[in-house]
Structures are given as structure tokens and as C-alpha cells.
């Protein structure tokens, strides 16, 4: 019974990637669970509440109407008279307009934005908060 300490065996040249795949999968799950998928908008408005909501597309223009009647297009303040030009320039290659209007905004302000969106052939989506999810 002799022990052989010779180096005549070739080193293992194929590595198993199963352990690396497990680690990558666990990291992916961790980041998916801890990330926030709701876009955070810088302009705070009190949205009206609804029981159901439609998913938002990745291609949209965001228009905000505050309770003071100010307009913002993609978080840039806009004068009401220049609203058409700003929405037109922001809507290149986009198919929808998401309107985030404060619940104290007037119907006239909503109608102005909706008519501009219709003229530019954009769908209008109204951002709302789901009933019961708004903090009191």
C-alpha cells in the first residue's frame, strides 16, 4: 500500500456554474423585493380615489395640475398659454398622457389638458389613488 503523491493527474478544467447561478438568482430576488416600482413624483397633489386603476405605460407624458392651478409637464413648470407647445415637445414617440390633477383642480383645467392630448393624438390616463391605500 503505497501512497502516490505524483502530479500526473490533469487539473479540473471545467467549472460548475451552478453555485454562481444560485447566488445571482438570490441577488435578483432580493433586489426585486426591496426595490420600489412606483415612480416617485416630485410635485405633491391630492389625487382623487378610485376602486380600480389601470397600469401605466413606459411611454407617457406626465402633466400635473396643482390645487393652485399651476401646470407642470414632466415636472417642469409651464404657463397655461404655453401648455400645447410643452406637451407637443415632450410627446415625441409617446402614446399616452398621464394627468395627475389635484382633487381641487377644476374641470376646465382638466378639459384644457384633455383637448390638447386629443389634438396631439395621445391617450389620456387619469392618475388616482386606490381606495383605502391613501395615508390619513
Q: Report the topology of domain 49-130.
A: Nucleotidyltransferase; domain 5 (3.30.420)
Mean pLDDT by runs of 10 across the 136 residues of the chain is 67 73 88 68 65 58 88 88 88 85 86 89 80 55
Question: How much is the pLDDT for 48?
Answer: 64
Question: How much is the pLDDT for 106?
Answer: 86
Question: How much is the pLDDT for 50?
Answer: 60
Which residues contact residue 46 at a Cβ distance below 8 angstroms, ignoring those fewer than 6 apart?
Answer: 67, 102, 103, 104
Closest CA to 45 of 113, 126, 131: 126
> Hey, how many other C-beta atoms are within 10 angstroms of the C-beta on 73?
22
Rounded Cα gap, residues 77 and 98, in angstroms: 16
Question: How much is the pLDDT for 95?
Answer: 84
Question: How much is the pLDDT for 71?
Answer: 92
Which residues contact residue 22 at a Cβ distance below 8 angstroms, ignoring those fewer than 6 apart?
Answer: none
Amino acid at each position: 500500500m503505497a501512497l502516490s503523491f505524483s502530479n500526473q493527474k490533469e487539473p479540473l478544467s471545467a467549472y460548475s456554474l451552478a453555485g454562481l447561478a444560485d447566488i445571482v438568482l438570490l441577488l435578483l430576488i432580493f433586489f426585486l423585493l426591496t426595490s420600489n416600482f412606483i415612480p416617485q413624483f416630485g410635485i405633491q397633489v391630492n389625487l382623487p380615489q378610485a376602486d380600480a386603476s389601470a397600469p401605466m405605460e413606459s411611454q407617457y407624458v406626465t402633466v400635473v395640475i396643482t390645487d393652485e392651478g399651476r401646470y407642470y409637464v414632466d415636472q417642469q413648470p409651464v404657463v397655461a398659454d404655453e401648455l400645447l407647445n410643452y406637451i407637443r415637445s415632450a410627446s415625441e414617440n409617446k402614446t399616452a398622457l398621464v394627468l395627475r390633477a389635484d382633487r381641487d383642480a377644476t374641470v376646465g383645467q382638466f378639459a384644457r389638458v384633455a383637448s390638447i392630448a386629443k389634438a396631439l393624438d395621445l391617450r389620456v390616463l387619469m392618475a388616482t389613488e386606490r381606495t383605502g391605500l391613501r395615508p390619513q
